[in-house]
Amino acid sequence: MTLRAVAAAAAAVTLLAVAPAQPSLREQLRATQSDYYNHLVALEPVVGRFSVTDYMQRLVDDADAMDSPNDVPAGYSAQQWHAYVSNKTTLDISLAHQVLSRHYQSMESIRGLGEALVRSSLDGTMQPVAVYVPPSYAPAHPAPLVVFLHGHPQAETSLLAPDYIAKLADATGSIVVAPYGRGYYDFRGAIADVYDTVAVAGKAFSIDARKRFLAGYSMGGFSVFEVGPVHADMWSGIMCISGALLGHDAHAVTAMLSRTPFYVLTGSDDDSIPTSYPTATAVFLNASGIPVSFYSQPHGTHRIVTLLPIFTQAWDDMHRGIVRSPPPVMGGMALPAAPPQTTLKP
């Protein structure tokens, strides 16, 4: 090796030695948490007074999850759970940075998993939306759109963070958007935010108008029956996961969504939303002449990860427009009047 080559190699080693190391995700989280806390008051007009502290709490919860790597919930492998925590933390950091800087990522720029903010048509605040865009997406080929409503207590970032969402979306070439809905229990106070999200997604991406789907999990599974009828002609199918149609929503559903296929999912061992709730929903829809498919996962609990076999089947059926699994024939099952008084466990 020549002296010049030796000198160049030594210089390269020196540059590597002094180059600043990229902060770890944990370090990014701690710094973001501190910065966000210091600007709480100033951020209130940007995101709304009731949401500003919610985003701070997310960062706190993310730190707790990262500090307890061995606390893996039932249904997840350690690898799946760690990927989930990493994805959720990354999304929550992105949300905080965008709010702090007032520079918002355009939805159309997202590929893979990302976080966007949509300006509310109600009050002008910026409302968060988790987004997943499959690698196969190409503007020349309109893609299906799934609007996914989260559970409670849960946020849009935790709904889309698990890797199975990406796998399902990739398999069908679907774009998935999950609005936050301001933390309202049943989305009733944030229905406009849901449709604002649909409008922005329609401008950001090439969407197949024949394949726009509304899905909801847990609280979101109750909420699809509130949100769907508002613009009933928009939806090609509606999925309810571990939720139910309540009696006071029945008229709007039968009047506005009589031809829309429904896909109702439950776990036989759900300890938050008893399986009788989704079952009564499917029985009612079927008796009303509404196309409905019913799926029950043996030993499935309230966590979606335990429902993956039926979730995968129902997701595929919904995208194909297949109605294949009618509910069991049962008599005397009345629609519930309200969600059960239990602690939901998304």
Q: What are residue 106's phi and psi, to 5 degrees?
A: -70, 140
Write the pLDDT tens digit of every residue in 134-173: 999 999 999 999 999 999 989 999 999 999 999 999 999 9
Write the pLDDT tens digit of every residue in 306-322: 999 999 999 999 999 99
Question: Would you state the pLDDT for residue 13?
Answer: 38
| Range of weakest confidence among 18-22, 165-169, 215-219, 316-320 | 18-22
Do the strands 126-133 and 175-179 form a parallel or antiparallel pair, or are they unpaired? antiparallel
Question: Would you state the pLDDT for residue 332?
Answer: 64
Mean pLDDT to the nearest integer, 196-223: 98
First to last CA, the chain: 62
Question: Would you state the pLDDT for residue 218?
Answer: 96
8 Å CB contact between 294 and 279 = yes
Cis status, amide bond into 153, omega within 30 of 0: yes
Co-location of 156 and 55 in the same domain: no
Q: Is the pTM of this model over 0.85?
A: yes
Give yes or no for residue 273 having a pLDDT over 70.
yes
Final residue before a domain boundary, out of 54, 70, 103: 103
Q: Which residues contact 320 (CB under 8 A, 6 or more apart)?
A: none
Mean pLDDT of the chain: 92
- Please provide the size of the chain in residues: 346
8 Å CB contact between 328 and 278 = no
Co-location of 210 and 138 in the same domain: yes
Question: Would you state the pLDDT for residue 43?
Answer: 97
Between CA 53 and CA 173 the distance in angstroms is 35
Co-location of 230 and 132 in the same domain: yes
Question: Would you state the pLDDT for residue 140?
Answer: 97
Residue 269, domain extent: 107-340
Write the pLDDT tens digit of every residue in 162-202: 999 999 999 999 999 999 999 877 898 899 999 999 999 99
Tell me, yes or no, whether 3 lies in a domain: no
Within 13 A of 182's CA, how many CA atoms are on the CB side? 23
Between CA 69 and CA 128 the distance in angstroms is 27
Give yes or no for residue 2 having a pLDDT over 70.
no
Between CA 250 and CA 239 the distance in angstroms is 16
Between CA 110 and CA 108 the distance in angstroms is 6
Co-location of 59 and 158 in the same domain: no
Between CA 252 and CA 191 the distance in angstroms is 15
| Structural domain count, the chain | 2
Final residue before a domain boundary, out of 81, 103, 125: 103
Tell me, yes or no, whether 51 lies in a domain: yes
8 Å CB contact between 207 and 143 = yes
Mean pLDDT to the nearest integer, 195-219: 98
Co-location of 185 and 67 in the same domain: no
Q: Which residues contact 276 (CB under 8 A, 6 or more apart)?
A: 333
Tell me, yes or no, whether 71 lies in a domain: yes
Give residue for tokens 């918002």: 104
Co-location of 223 and 94 in the same domain: no
Question: Would you state the pLDDT for residue 344?
Answer: 52
Q: Hey, what amino acid is at 22?
A: Q
Tell me, yes or no, whether 9 lies in a domain: no
Give residue for tokens 């197949």: 208
Tell me, yes or no, whether 1 lies in a domain: no
Q: Hey, what amino acid is at 61?
A: D
The CATH code of the domain that includes 171 is 3.40.50.1820
Final residue before a domain boundary, out of 54, 83, 103: 103
Is the CA virtual torsion 207, 208, 210, 211 positive or negative? negative
Tell me, yes or no, whether 5 lies in a domain: no
Question: Would you state the pLDDT for residue 16?
Answer: 38
Between CA 83 and CA 62 the distance in angstroms is 13
